[in-house]
Structure 1
Amino acid sequence: MNFCGVPLEASAEVIRWHMVGIFLPAFIAGPLVDRLGSRRVAVLGGALLLGSASIALLGMSTMTFLASSFLLGVGWNLMLVAGTTLLGEGHAPEERGQAQGLMELATAWWRLVPPSPRVC
């Protein structure tokens, strides 16, 4: 964000709201899955991710970064909870631990890859 002209203080605020978006929905995501079902919550999370991408395409202002990052966090949380629930439903009880471990391994591979340079 600094490279795109956003001041450091505003960048910190954007990251703060992104973290709120990631963790705050955890209090309602489980009950939401119980009430609406995993697939509907996953679709809702996907819609929020599309909204995040759409807002991000509008520009590089502090507000677009903030709104896009917040929606990205909320959508990620909803899709993670719904996806984890669907993963458990798709396996026999004795397979669930291994399936969860494989999913964690598959989603963490990016930590081993060096980041590519970003261009605004």
Structure 2
Amino acid sequence: MNPSVMGAGGEIISTAKDLNRFVAALLGGRLLPNRLLAEMKTPGVAGRAYGLGLAWKDTSCGVRVFGNDGDALAYQAWSFAAEDGRRQVTVALTPDFRGDPDDAVDALLDRAFCD
């Protein structure tokens, strides 16, 4: 399957290291002015945890992490970082569709950002 069938989002070919570098640069203020990064963190819909391109999750220890996830027919990826940039995690996998990996990723985020 050629991921370009997903449009522009499918045209990027990257590694977990690439995603880490991108998220670190974005949240570190090296890609956008602060006012635009703040817009990305502002919910598009009140009460939701998704802004204009960035989602956030609150870990069990209260650390808010910013990033995003993405998927296509044969793969999924999640990349999140603490706002201070000191910790970051990216997961890329080929799902087996026997379960929802979101719970496992949330548990990994807790381990990465809370331990």
Q: With structure 2 as the length reference, what TM-score do the two structures score?
A: 0.33
Give 1 or 2: higher helix fraction. 1
Give 1 or 2: higher strand fraction. 2
Q: With structure 1 as the length reference, what TM-score do the two structures score?
A: 0.32
